Amino acid sequence: MTTTTTTTSSRNADPDFWQRARRHLIRYGGTFEPMIIERAQGSFVYDADGRAILDFTSGQMSALLGHGHPEIAAVVAEHARSLDHLFSGMLSRPVVDLATRLAGVAPAGLERAMLLSTGAEANEAAIKMAKLYTGKYEVVSFAQSWHGMTGGAASATYSAGRKGYGPAAVGSFAIPAPYPYRPRFERDGRFDWQAELDYAFDLIDRQSSGNLAAFIAEPILSSGGLIDLPLGYLAALKAKCSERGMLLILDEAQTGVGRTGLMFACQRDGVVPDILTLSKTLGVDDRPELTRCDHSILTHPCRLPEGALVCGYLCGSGVLGRSFPALRR
């Protein structure tokens, strides 16, 4: 439930605000912060007392260029006026420009994009593509993963949110993420992640009914505890997938678009996934209420060997088209 512990002399205590918040809002998995955010600018949010608060949440991990970047704000306004929400069968120039731009920066082979609204939706689409392409349905992910709160994405999410909703999708499996800080497998005093991976896949093979479709992974597990996959792990994981005819889906919601210093985290390892999903950082300084301005491109999943990018968090493709040059600067 909504709570506030602010003193009554603070404007953050506004009783009417909190009464209406308590009465009309639902917050899953936690409480609201006891303050009223009046505006957000650059790296700061400002509460009702005018206090500047350094936004380490980066607007739910999305405000890559800071809040209210003037160039992005201008394009949002321009598109809201002149080219907002279209039927998904209609194309506009910003959509094709964005897909071309994404293909230009993505690892080689990831040529075609499907543009959606949220990270969960991007993973949902990626998992469905993998099932359609392989004709199979089993999906494996890490036991510390977070891929979103919609059906298929939530079935592949193990770090939270599994209890109380009934069965996950049939064929959902998990393996432990390699954790060098507290290794479970050691050889000569060193973390032996390869032995852990071999053992994990041995267990998957025993549980599988022969229908392994995909592995979905974050290159750096975020919500599950900031676990950086050891160098070499992604290549070994891709090999495990290839041996079984599974697709490798990499979820770069939090690591993509320059956040690790490379355009995509998987480039550190030189591993190209079959499907790359992007969202939060791609939105750059996304306003959730504007995500409905998105455009969608539909690709035919059966042509998947060319590789696919599935992207959420776009406030209209024109916005992102503008954000790329700003990001590069």
| Tally of CB atoms within 10 A around 103 | 16
Over the window 277 to 296, marking each residue x when it contacts ligand PLP by CB under 6 A and - when it does not, the resulting string is --x-----------------
Provide the minimum distance between the beta carbon of 297 and ligand PLP in the complex, in angstroms, as a whole number.
Answer: 18
**Residue 118 binds ligand PLP, judged by CB under 6 A:** yes
Nearer to ligand PLP, 116 or 272 (CB): 116
* Stretch near ligand PLP under the rule CB under 6 A, chosen from 24-32, 37-45, 145-153, 201-209: 145-153
Of 77 and 226, the one with the shorter C-beta distance to ligand PLP is: 226
The number of residues that bind ligand PLP (CB under 6 A) is: 16
228 token code pair: 């950086």
Name 271's Cβ contacts closer than 8 Å, sequence gap at least 6.
234, 235, 238, 248, 250
Q: Determine, following the binding rule CB under 6 A, whether residue 156 of this chain makes contact with ligand PLP.
A: no
Cβ of residue 36: shortest distance to ligand PLP, in angstroms? 23
**In sequence order, what DSSP letters do the residues of 150-213 get, joined into one string?**
SHHHHHT--SS--TTS----TTEEEEPPP-TTS-SSEETTEE-HHHHHHHHHHHHHHH--S-EE
- Rounded CA gap, 96 and 165, in Å? 39
| Residue 266 engages ligand PLP in binding (rule: CB under 6 A) | no
Among the listed residues 67, 79, 112, 147, the single contact to ligand PLP using CB under 6 A: 147
Tokens 């506030």 found at: 4
Window of 142-150, 166-174, 195-203, 320-328 that interacts with ligand PLP by CB under 6 A: 142-150
Residues paired with 309 in a beta bridge: 113, 276
Question: Could you tell me which of 25, 281, 28 has the C-alpha nearest to residue 36?
Answer: 25
The binding track of 299-318 with respect to ligand PLP, each residue x by CB under 6 A or -, is -------------xx-----
**Residue 69 corresponds to which tokens in the numbers above?**
């970047």
Which range touches ligand PLP (CB under 6 A), out of 8-16, 207-215, 231-239, 247-255?
247-255
**Residue 176 tokens, joined:** 């432990």
The one-letter code for the residue type at 35 is M
Rounded to a whole number of angstroms, the CA Rg of the chain reads 21
Min dist. Cβ of residue 25 to ligand PLP (A):
17
For residue 69, give the amino acid letter: H
- Long-range CB contact pairs, 47-55, < 8 A, 24+: 47/11, 47/12, 48/10, 48/11, 48/12, 48/14, 49/10, 49/11, 49/12
Candidate list 46, 146, 193, 264; residue touching ligand PLP; CB under 6 A? 146
The reply to whether 218 sits near ligand PLP by the rule CB under 6 A is yes
CB of 205 to ligand PLP, least distance (A): 26
CB closer to ligand PLP, 221 vs 241: 221
* Closest chain position to ligand PLP (CB): 119
Minimum separation from the CB atom of position 121 to ligand PLP (A): 7
**Shortest approach of ligand PLP to residue 146 CB, angstroms?**
5
CA distance 216 to 275: 9
Contact footprint for ligand PLP (CB under 6 A): 118-120, 123, 146-148, 218, 222-223, 251, 253-254, 279, 312-313
